[in-house]
Amino acid sequence: MRRRLALPLAAAALALPAALIPATSASAEVADKDQVLSSFTQSGSGSYDAWNSARADQGSWAEYGFDWSTDYCSYSPDSPGGFPFADSCARHDFGYRNYKAMGTFEANKARLDSAFLGDMKRVCSGYDSEQKASCDNYADLYYSAVSTWGS
């Protein structure tokens, strides 16, 4: 008699944690998405490199439902003065679009704009002093535009 009762109880006990996993996993996934998004949108080359690597392998990040779409530098040239800012603009779009989708854009906008400036300044750091000064001027102009009018 004990054996007949023990088997259904054991099966029920094993099924209970399995029934709870989806609810726990779903809430953990949202928190994890916010962490991953944050890690991809910080100032600094490490964050940029992590985002760029993930961008090259978007399928591996599909579970997060990130919006990878971009119009690059929108209505401005992607390479003003010949300086390639397209990837900087793409990461900026990534941050804007995904934080808007999560409803936390305003709380993150200033940081996203600052990371954008850092990305462009890293592009500029590869040029000699005269070209770097010109590139930095374009970077400052683009930053000023997004920090004032970006939405």
Q: What is the CATH number of the domain that holds 36?
A: 1.20.90.10
Residue 13 has pLDDT above 50, yes or no: no
3 lies in some domain: no
Active site residue 92: yes
8 lies in some domain: no
Domain that holds residue 105: 28-149
**How do residues 37-80 score in pLDDT, each as one tens digit?**
999 999 999 999 999 999 999 999 999 999 999 999 999 999 99
Residue 23 has pLDDT above 70, yes or no: no
Residue 27 has pLDDT above 80, yes or no: no
What's the pLDDT at 61? 95
19 lies in some domain: no
18 lies in some domain: no
For residues 121 and 136, is the Cβ–Cβ distance under 8 A? yes
For range 7-23, the mean pLDDT: 42
What's the pLDDT at 77? 97
82 lies in some domain: yes
Instruction: Tell me which DSSP letter residue 60 carries.
Output: G
Bigger pLDDT: 74 or 10?
A: 74
Residue 99 has pLDDT above 60, yes or no: yes
49 lies in some domain: yes
Nearest to 121 by CA among 20, 48, 18, 66: 48
For range 111-122, the mean pLDDT: 98
Bigger pLDDT: 23 or 65?
A: 65
Residues 121, 126, 131, CA angle at the centre, nearest 5°?
Answer: 85
Average pLDDT, the chain: 86
Q: Which of 33, 37, 88, 92 is catalytic?
A: 92
Rounded to 10 deg, the angle between the 105-124 and 45-56 helix axes is: 100
What's the pLDDT at 96? 98
Q: How many domains does the chain have?
A: 1
